[in-house]
C-alpha cells in the first residue's frame, strides 16, 4: 500500500524538465524549473479587461500547464499596470455585439472557468490591483487569494451594469464566503476594499506590497509539498464538482439565457451608459 502511494507521488510530482517561457503578449507564463511553480501574468493594458483573444490565451495556457505536471500556479497582473489586477470582462464584447462572436465569447468563458476552477494543481491569485466582475471571478477560481491593499476593490459588480452574473459566478462566490453574504453581495453588485474583502473571507490574506503578496502565494503553494498531488486533485474535485457539474449539465441553457438577454434593447442601453461613465 505504501509502495503504491509512493509511486503515485513520484509520477505526479515530477518537476518539469525545463524552464518554459511563453509570452503571448497579453499573457506571460513562466515555469520555474527548480520549483515546478508557474507564474502566469496578465498583460493587457490599460486595465487587463478580458477580450475573446485573452480568454482563449488564458484557457490554452491553463490546459498546457495541466499537461506539464506543474506543482502550482500563481496568477497575477503585470506590475506596470500598477493598480489593476483585472478590470473584468471586456464590456465591448457585449455592447452592440456581433452575434457569432458573442456566442464564441460566452462559450469560451464557460470553458475557461471550468479549466481554471478545476485545475488539478494548487493555484493562487496575487491580486495586485482592482479586480471587478470577471476579474473577481478568475481570482475566486483560484484555491487561495492574496490581495494587495489597502486601496483596491474587488467584487462581482455585474448588476451595476444591468446584467446578471450567471449561477456559476454566484456559486463560486458562495463557496468562498457563504450563500447569504454572496447573495447580498451579488444582488447589490457590491465591491469591497482589501480590508473588507479580508474581513468577509473573500480573500485569504492581504499585503501592503506585491513582493510580499507573491511570497505569501509561494508559501501557500509550498504548504502542499508533503501532500500527494493525487490526493489534492481528488479532494479538490470532490469539493468543487457540484458547482462545475451544474455548468457541464446546463451549458446550452446557460449560454442561451445570456446570449438572448444581452442583446435586448434595455440591457444594451445600460451597457452603453456604463461604458460612457467609464470614459468620463
Ligand X SMILES: CCCCC/C=C\CCC/C=C/CC(=O)SCCNC(=O)CCNC(=O)[C@H](O)C(C)(C)COP(=O)(O)OP(=O)(O)OC[C@H]1O[C@@H](n2cnc3c(N)ncnc32)[C@H](O)[C@@H]1OP(=O)(O)O
Q: Which residues bind ligand X (CB under 6 A)?
A: 46-47, 49, 83-84, 87-92, 106, 109-110, 130, 132-134, 157-158, 161, 163, 166, 254-255, 258, 278-279
Least distance CB 258 / ligand X (angstroms): 4
Least distance CB 71 / ligand X (angstroms): 30
Least distance CB 119 / ligand X (angstroms): 19
Least distance CB 234 / ligand X (angstroms): 28
Q: Which is nearer to ligand X, 72 or 129 (CB)?
A: 129
Q: Which is nearer to ligand X, 134 or 229 (CB)?
A: 134
Q: Which is nearer to ligand X, 36 or 165 (CB)?
A: 165
Give catalytic residue positions: 89, 134, 157-158
Q: Which is nearer to ligand X, 87 or 217 (CB)?
A: 87
Q: Which is nearer to ligand X, 122 or 133 (CB)?
A: 133
Listed in sequence order, the residues at least 6 apart from 6 whose beta carbon sits closer than 8 Å to its beta carbon are none
Q: What is the number of other CB atoms lying within 10 angstroms of the CB of residue 36? A: 19
Query: How far, in Å, are 31, 101, 142, 243 from residue 185 at the CA level?
Result: 36, 30, 19, 19
Least distance CB 1 / ligand X (angstroms): 44
> Could you tell me if 45 and 82 are in contact, meaning their C-beta atoms sit under 8 angstroms apart?
no
Return the C-alpha cell found at 26: 497579453
Least distance CB 174 / ligand X (angstroms): 16
Compute the distance between CA of residue 47 and CA of residue 20 in angstroms, rounded to an integer: 26
Q: Report which residue's Cβ sits closest to ligand X.
A: 133
The CA dihedral of 227, 120, 22, 140, to the nearest 10 degrees, is -100
Q: Which is nearer to ligand X, 28 or 160 (CB)?
A: 160
Amino acid at each position: 500500500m505504501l509502495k503504491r502511494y509512493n509511486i503515485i507521488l513520484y509520477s505526479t510530482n515530477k518537476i518539469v524538465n525545463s524552464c518554459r517561457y511563453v509570452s503571448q503578449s497579453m499573457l506571460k507564463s513562466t515555469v520555474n524549473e527548480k520549483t515546478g511553480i508557474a507564474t502566469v501574468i496578465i498583460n493587457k493594458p490599460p486595465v487587463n479587461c478580458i477580450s475573446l483573444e485573452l480568454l482563449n490565451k488564458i484557457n490554452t495556457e491553463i490546459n498546457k500547464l495541466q499537461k506539464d505536471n506543474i506543482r502550482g500556479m500563481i496568477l497575477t497582473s503585470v506590475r506596470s499596470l500598477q493598480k489593476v489586477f483585472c478590470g473584468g470582462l471586456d464590456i465591448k464584447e457585449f455592447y452592440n455585439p456581433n452575434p457569432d462572436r458573442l456566442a464564441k465569447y460566452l462559450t469560451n468563458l464557460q470553458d475557461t472557468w471550468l479549466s481554471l476552477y478545476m485545475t488539478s494543481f494548487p493555484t493562487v491569485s496575487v491580486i495586485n490591483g482592482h479586480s471587478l466582475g470577471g476579474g473577481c471571478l478568475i481570482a475566486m477560481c483560484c484555491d487561495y487569494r492574496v490581495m494587495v491593499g489597502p486601496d483596491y476593490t474587488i467584487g462581482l459588480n455585474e448588476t451595476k451594469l444591468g446584467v446578471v452574473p450567471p449561477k456559476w459566478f454566484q456559486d463560486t462566490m458562495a463557496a468562498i464566503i457563504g450563500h447569504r453574504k454572496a447573495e447580498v453581495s451579488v444582488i447589490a453588485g457590491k465591491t469591497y476594499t482589501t480590508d473588507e474583502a479580508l474581513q468577509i473571507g473573500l480573500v485569504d490574506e492581504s499585503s501592503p506590497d506585491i513582493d510580499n503578496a507573491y511570497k505569501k502565494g509561494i508559501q501557500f503553494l509550498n504548504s502542499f509539498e508533503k501532500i500527494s498531488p493525487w490526493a489534492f486533485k481528488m479532494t479538490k474535485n470532490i469539493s468543487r464538482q457540484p458547482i462545475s457539474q451544474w455548468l457541464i449539465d446546463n451549458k446550452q441553457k446557460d449560454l442561451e439565457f445570456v446570449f438572448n438577454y444581452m442583446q435586448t434593447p434595455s440591457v444594451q442601453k445600460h451597457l452603453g451608459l456604463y461604458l460612457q461613465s467609464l470614459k468620463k
